[in-house]
Every structure is written in structure tokens, then in C-alpha cells.
Amino acid sequence: MNSIITFLIQFNQTLLAKIEELLLIIEELSQNKKEYDPKSPKYKRFSVDKPPIVREIQKQDYRKLIKREQELFGKTIKPIKPRSEKSTPASVTCPYCDAPHTYIYDNSGGKGQFLCKVCKSTFFLTANVLRPIAFYCPYCANILSKCKERKGFFVHKCVSYNCLFYKNSLAALSDESKLEYQKHPHRFKLHYIYREFTTDFFAMDLKSLPEGSVNFKFRKFSPHILGLCLTYVVNCGLSFRQTREALRDIHGVVISHAMIARYVRTASAIVTPFVLDFDYNPSNYIAADETYVKVRGINHYVWFVMDAIKKSILGFAVSAERTLEPCMLAMRRAFNAFTTFPGMNLKFIADGYSIYKLAQLQFTMKDMSFPLTQVIGLTNDDPVSKEYRWVKQIIERLNRTFKLSYRVTCGYNSFSGADGHVAIFVAFYNFLRPHPYNYWKPLNSIPALEKCPNMPAKWQTLLELSQLHLLKLQNEAV
């Protein structure tokens, strides 16, 4: 018995010694841990480069070019003499000067690229259409090559190894990174890249009615029932089925959850123009963030852009993908709240997602430049995070408030249902919800709402004001 106790004591002492050794190793590793450096070359593939040089292309006549070559240099541009069996198809013509196939080289051995002998332009057979503009690298002035086609945009790349951007990126690599770059070059972004989006983000409709909307010509119910439905769904955060049970058990009203869903969807469509056109008089501190929701079990995304000082939601959007289009929609809605766009005086704070850099570039091309501040990570490891962390926390708090009304739904059944719920939540948040920031009053004061005795009456009044606003917009359009 004594021998077993002695063995256990020795075994425990051995374990304690090993634990102390492991703790020392962990402490050394934590001390040698490198701080996150957002300017590191390894993170360049998450960055967005400055816009390229854009030049218009004018179509030329190959006959005039041949004649000018003869007059200036005394040389005649002769048709090509193919040295292989593969010759340029007769249907190929130069999109820049209309030169026939007899003046065009197969520049890539049958892979689709051609070279015009007359105007010295290269083009692809799959894109044999003259482009009105061309993109040039802002660092070396070389024309950009279209290297990839993605959903919604093209990727243009400067392939020159003499480009200043490439040389600086290569010089910034450490010895360890250079070895990794030789083995895995796809992990690094050293060349200048520009994304050309095919969508006109400034032609998107900011206000549209969702599918499945109904009118408010009540045959069986009344506007008060509508106000009760919105109060239970939005203010109390009940699901449509819970609202149906509450109306039946408390008020004796028998109504289906499908009709409640139609009421909420139509109310959101009517309220949205009023919410977006309201004069918020926003401050210059704007915060943006995105959060996810479930639509039939699939991740969708909700984008919010809010006034960080006055707390009002200025722009919002719902999307199936985390792409640039919904981000631009939310930002355009938010920027429309400004009577005069503040420009470089604006403080736009977002997280480290590169989509906000792309959005900033799109606005810059429309003469709406503004500085973008990105708060990266969850801890204040850099001066920017220390200064603007409070702004990021404000919009994260908004996301948690929204999730309180979303979780009871166990996810949405359709995209239009998600879109409608977000729109009606924004109306509630901006005009009806009491906020501690404003001494437990709504963020934006509307005298007509303050006179209402209860919340269903406030919803009815808000819908009435929204309908009057829609009539005003229709009359102005005529």
C-alpha cells in the first residue's frame, strides 16, 4: 500500500514538472508573437488599389494608317505571311481599325489572342468588340490585361515586371516571404489589379415595392388590427404565429399568420420611401457593418449604415451574397440623407472587409470622394482601432438589437420576407423605439406621432404619413 502511494506522489510531481515546462513554452511563444500588420505584403490580396488611368479609344481606318505609314516612312505595310498551318480565320477583323484577317497575327498559338499588324493592337476572339475605354496602370502607364471574368466584374491586371507597384511589393517581402512566394506565388498579390464592375450601381432603384404586397382596403379587419399586428411583430418581437395566437387569445381576433405576413410586407413597402427621404440632418460620423440572417437555412446578409452620433439608421439592404451591389445600395441610401455631401469631412468607419474599399473607389469615380477608416480585429492593436473602436461598437450594438427581433422567427421563409422585416424594423428603430440616448424618447421626433395615445395608433399614423409622402412623390413625377 505504501509503495502505491509513493508511486502516485512521484507521478504527480512528474506531471507538475511537465506542466511548468509547457507553461514556460507558451509564455515564450506569446512574447514572440508578431503583431498584426495590415500593411504586410501577405495581406495585399485583401486590399484595393487606387483607380487606373482611363482613356477613350477612337476607332481608326486601317487604310488611312497604311497610307500614313507610306507617306511618313516610305514603307508599305504588307499582309502577313503565315509560317505555320494555323492561320487567322477569315472571319476575324481588328476591332480597332477594321483590318482584315490578312493583317492579323495569331499571337498566342490558337489560344484566342490576336495582334493587328497595322495598328499594333492586341485583342481576343471571344471579345471581338471595340471597347470605348481602355485602362492603364497608374504606376507604369502600361495597358491593363483582362485576366479573369467573375460574376458581376472583370479583373484587369498589370503584367509588367518593370512596374513600380510590382517592384515595391517585391522589395517589401521579407526573406521568409520571398521563399514562400517562390513556392506558392498565388498566396501573394504583387501586381496592380483593378476590378471593372459590369453593374451600374448608381442606376439601381432605391425604392421598390416587394412581391406579394396587398392593399389596405379592409373588408374583414380594420386599421386598428393592422396596428396591433405591427406592434406585436415589430415592437414585441413576436413571430407571425405567436402574433396570431396573441390576437386570438387577448383581443378575440381570428386572423391567419399568412395575412399578418402580408400586412407587414406591404407596410414595409409603404414606409420605406418615407424612412429614406426623411430629413435626419445627419452628423459626419457614419458607421457601416453587415450581419447574417438565415433564409430557408441559407446565409443571407443585412447591411446597415447608421449615424454614429445621432444613432439613426440611414441606409440598409438585404442580399443573398456578400458582394458590392448591396453594399453600394445601403451606402447610396445613407448618402442621400445629406443635403450637401460632406466629402473629405466625412468620417466613414467600417470593418476590415475589402468591399468597403471597392465601394469607396466607385464613389470616387462619381466625384464623391470620402476618407474610409477601417477598424480591424477585436482588440485595439493599432492607433486607428483605439481611436474609432467606439464607433464600431455602436453599430455592433445595433446588430444585436436587430437580432433580438430576428431570432424569434427562426429564420425567414423568403427573401422578400427578410427584406420587408428589415425595412419595417428600420422604421420602428428610427421613429417609434424609445432610446436611452434620447432620454427614452424616439430618435426622430414627429409631432403627429407624439399625439397618438398608444402604439397601434402610432403605426397607423406613420403609415398615413408614408402614404401622403408617396402621393407627393407621384405628383412630383407627373
pLDDT digit string, tens, across residues 403-433: 887 776 677 888 888 888 899 999 999 999 9
How far from chain centre, in Å, is Cα 230? 30
The arithmetic mean of pLDDT across residues 284-300, rounded, is 90
Q: Is the pLDDT of residue 316 over 90?
A: yes
Q: Residue 397 and residue 402: Cα distance in Å, rounded?
A: 9
Mean pLDDT confidence for 323-329: 90
pLDDT tens digits for range 433-475: 998 888 889 999 899 998 888 899 999 999 889 888 888 887 8
pLDDT at 244: 92
Q: How confident is the model at residue 128 (pLDDT cuts 50, 70, 90)?
A: very low
CA dihedral defined by 219, 224, 229, 232, rounded to 10 degrees?
Answer: -160
Q: Which CATH class is domain 273-477?
A: alpha beta
> How far is the CA of 317 from the CAs of 290, 389, 399, 420, 421, in angstroms?
9, 24, 13, 10, 11
pLDDT digits (tens, 9 = 90+) for 352-406: 888 898 899 889 888 888 999 988 877 777 788 888 899 999 999 999 999 887 7
- pTM higher than the cut 0.85: no
- Give pLDDT, residue 213: 47
When mean pLDDT is compared over 30-34, 342-346, 379-383, the highest value belongs to 342-346
* % of the chain at pLDDT higher than 70: 86
Instruction: Report whether pLDDT(126) > 70.
Output: no
pLDDT of residue 308: 92
pLDDT surpasses 90 at 83: no
Please choose, from the candidates 341, 394, 349, 339, the residue with its C-alpha nearest in 3D space to the C-alpha of residue 371: 349
Q: Could you count the other beta carbons within 10 Å of the beta carbon of residue 334?
A: 26
pLDDT bin (cut points 50, 70, 90) of residue 68 is: confident
- The residue written with cell numbers 472571319 in the block is 91
pLDDT of residue 6: 74
pLDDT number for residue 33:
46
Q: Which residues, listed in sequence order, are joined to residue 113 by a DSSP beta bridge? A: 124
Higher pLDDT, residue 421 or 16: 421
Instruction: Give the mean pLDDT of 9-33.
Output: 73
pLDDT higher than 60, residue 100: yes
The domain limits of the chain are: 53-135, 136-198, 273-477
